Every structure is written in C-alpha cells, then in structure tokens.
Amino acid sequence: MALSNSQYDEIFRTYDERQLHNQHVIERRTKEAYAQIPGLKEIDDAIASCSVAQARKLLDGDSDALEELKQQLDAYRSKKAALLKEHGLSSDYFKPSYTCPDCKDTGYINGERCHCFKQAAIRMIYTQSNLKEVLEKENFNTFSYDYYSSEDINPATGRSSLDTIKDAVAKCHYFIDHFDDEFNNLYFYGDTGIGKTFLSNCIAKELLDRGYSVIYFTAFQLFDILGKDKFGRNENASDAHQNIFDCDLLIIDDLGTELSNSFTSSQLFLCLNERILRRKSTIISTNLRMNQLADIYSERVLSRISSSYTVMNLFGADIRILKRYR
C-alpha cells in the first residue's frame, strides 16, 4: 500500500478512537448495571479473582486445582448470565459493538491487515472518501424501476427498457452472490443517464459491506493516476499500479470520455489483462458499443472484454431528464 507515515498514523488514530469509544461504552454500562443489579459486582469480582488464581495454577502445572477453578468459573458465569437475564439484559450487553467485528477494530487479524484497513488505505490514497456518501444514496434499496418503461422497445433487441433493466439487475445480484466462487466481470453499455453508474454503485455498496476492497475511478481519473505513475512523478510509482491490479473490484466509469491515445490504449489493456490474470473482477460502464472498442483502443482490448465480461446493453430514456420533469 502506498501510504505515507502520516496517512498510516491517521488510519490508526481512527482505530484507537473506536477502541476508546468502545471502552467508554462498556465502562458506562458496567457502572449503570452495578448500580441497578445487586450482587452483580460481587460476581464480577469473584470471576476476576478466580481467573487470576487459574493463571497462577496454570504456571504451577497443578491440573486438579485447575479443573476445580474452571468449574467455579463456569458456575459464576452462568450465575451472572442468569442475573442479567432476570433484569432483561443479554449476556453480550458488556461486549463491545465493533465497527469491524472481524478484527475487533484493531486493523489486524492474526498479524495480517484486515479488509477494513485495506479499504481505509484505498480511501486515503485515492481520495475515495466521498464514495461512502454516494453509496448511501445509490444502492439496491434506493434503486427504482419506475424510470424504465415496458412500452419503450429497443429496436435492436426487441426488448423493452423495463425487461432489459430487470435482467441486468438479476445479473448484478448473481455477480455479487457468486463473487467468491465464480470469476466474472461486467460491461454496462448504453446512453447517458440510463443508470449504468447507479448499478455499479449498487454492486460496490454490497461488496464493500461484505468486506471486499473496491476502487472506483472514472476513466479520466484512472488514466491520470496510471500516467503519473508511468512518468515517475509519483514517488510510490508501482504501488498505485499494484492497488489497481489487486483490489477485489475495480470500477471504471465512463470509459471513452477520456482523451484516448496510444498511452490510454496500452494502459487499458495492461490493466484489464493483469486483472484477468489475477482473477480480480472489473466493472466497466461506457457509452461505447463493443465494436467501437477496437477502433478507440485496440483489438486486444476488445478481445479481453468479449471473452471475459458479461455484456449488458441498457436501454431507455435519460433518467436525469425524467427526474427533472417529475
């Protein structure tokens, strides 16, 4: 990861803050519970001294005493659980509610960086901080079929706008549900305002929520970063490439709106090809039809996309215009 020391510190400050917050919550709850539930503190004290005694006996290697202490501990714990239940509290009332239960807000699992750390680093490196806010608004819960008509028929396919989008949404769900066990890539193409970016965002949200690392770029941003990297202006040169090649999902939005040239053509091929070799999924959204890919980029780009991508041709009216008149 191309993190500077200060960025690294900033991420860890967030983890420290979360841990501190959790600790305060637990302390407050404990204090309140002790005040309300007679006998609870005594049980906790007994559990604590029993645990200390157990640790000492463990050092002595006294297995009979250990077994006895274990039984005592179990008895105290079930007594505590019963007492809490009596007062309408569950036994995990005193367990912290972690932002990331997988690493318990430490950023590490068995010495390896947690997925939440990777995503925090991606956000920081690529200033993707606004992605989260976008995804709050654009996700499957806010997606609406109202903008797609069953009477608007695509002459090329004979299918309505509504049928086409329903089909696309089903394929998106399939993509998400089989993200781990089936390598797949998506290619959304169609006119402006048809919901291509919205669908990409829906997928990004689902996968981020499941702990995968996702990078979102417009084509313009992607080539800008790869260009800086290529010409050595970026001190962490190959790191930017590594993240782009390695993240679980890369979204390239608005492909074809950048200024294309031989550089973008070769970089696009490199990027798509590397990700296919590493079996990392990519979503492309674009106004470009498949046959334009060869003209604008290269035959090689066309061939990679046609062999490894699920192609979806979205069709319908411009939603941005529809929204304005409703």
Question: Which residues of this chain interact with Zn ion, rule CB under 5 A?
Answer: 100, 102-103, 114, 116
CB of 119 to Zn ion, least distance (A): 9
- The CA-CA-CA angle for residues 173, 174, 175, to 5°, reads 90
User: How far from 121 is each of 175, 215, 293, CA to CA, in Å?
Assistant: 25, 11, 32
Question: How many CB atoms are closer than 10 A to CB 67?
Answer: 11
Identify whether the C-beta of residue 245 lies closer than 8 Å to the C-beta of residue 274.
yes
Identify whether the C-beta of residue 94 lies closer than 8 Å to the C-beta of residue 30.
yes
CB of 152 to Zn ion, least distance (A): 45
Of the pair 114, 226, the CB lying nearest Zn ion is at 114
CB of 115 to Zn ion, least distance (A): 6
Rounded to whole angstroms, the Cα distance separating 190 from 209 reads 28
Q: Diameter of the chain by CA atoms?
A: 83
Of the pair 113, 159, the CB lying nearest Zn ion is at 113
CB of 103 to Zn ion, least distance (A): 3
Of the pair 106, 128, the CB lying nearest Zn ion is at 106
Question: How many CB atoms are closer than 10 A to CB 289?
Answer: 12
CB of 116 to Zn ion, least distance (A): 3
- In 3D space, the residue among 274, 205, 208 whose CA is nearest the CA of residue 246 turns out to be 274
Of the pair 32, 102, the CB lying nearest Zn ion is at 102
Of the pair 15, 223, the CB lying nearest Zn ion is at 15
- The CA-CA-CA angle for residues 57, 60, 66, to 5°, reads 30
Rounded to whole angstroms, the Cα distance separating 142 from 176 reads 17
CB of 104 to Zn ion, least distance (A): 8
Backbone angles phi, psi at 318, to 5 degrees: -70, 110
CB of 101 to Zn ion, least distance (A): 8
Of the pair 215, 225, the CB lying nearest Zn ion is at 215
Of the pair 102, 167, the CB lying nearest Zn ion is at 102
CB of 44 to Zn ion, least distance (A): 29
Of the pair 162, 214, the CB lying nearest Zn ion is at 214
Rounded to whole angstroms, the Cα distance separating 208 from 305 reads 24
Of the pair 100, 283, the CB lying nearest Zn ion is at 100
Q: Which two tokens stand for residue 247?
A: 């993240």
Helix ranges restricted to H, the chain = 5-36, 40-60, 63-86, 115-125, 131-137, 161-177, 196-209, 219-230, 237-246, 262-277, 290-296, 299-308, 319-324
Identify whether the C-beta of residue 297 lies closer than 8 Å to the C-beta of residue 265.
yes
CB of 66 to Zn ion, least distance (A): 34
